[in-house]
Amino acid sequence: MAGGNSYQVDLTVTDNGNPRLSVSNTIKFSVNNMPLDAGDNEREKSSGGLFSYSLLLMLIVFRQKYLKQNRFN
């Protein structure tokens, strides 16, 4: 992967103030910008990048949560 940025993701789940699950992970990824075509809507293109980032973040959090739960069971 050429270039890219690193992001630290921290998540803590509490139950009545008591920590139940804590996950910390560093992810590194890069985004390739694609040129806009003359007929394309710029707003649709930019929202796709935000959606992809959000989806990636959700997958990492749920994966870590699933792995932690299986260790305790």
Give, for all 73 residues of the chain, the pLDDT tens digit. 456 677 777 777 777 888 777 777 776 766 666 666 655 555 555 555 566 777 777 788 877 777 777 765 5
Residue 30 is predicted with a pLDDT of 66
Residue 25 domain-assigned (yes or no): yes
Residue listed under structure tokens 């792995």: 67
Boundaries of domain holding 23? 5-30+41-72
Residue 29 is predicted with a pLDDT of 65
Instruction: Please give the Cα distance from 13 to 28 (Å, whole number).
Output: 24
Residue 72 is predicted with a pLDDT of 59
Residue 36 domain-assigned (yes or no): no
Token pair, residue 52, equals: 């992809």
Instruction: Please give the Cα distance from 52 to 49 (Å, whole number).
Output: 5
Residue (of 67, 53, 54, 61) closest to 11 by Cα position: 61
Residue 26 domain-assigned (yes or no): yes
Residue 14 domain-assigned (yes or no): yes
Sign of CA dihedral 34, 35, 41, 47: positive
> Could you give the number of structural domains in the chain?
1
pTM of the predicted structure, to 2 decimals: 0.32
Residue 42 is predicted with a pLDDT of 55
Residue 35 domain-assigned (yes or no): no
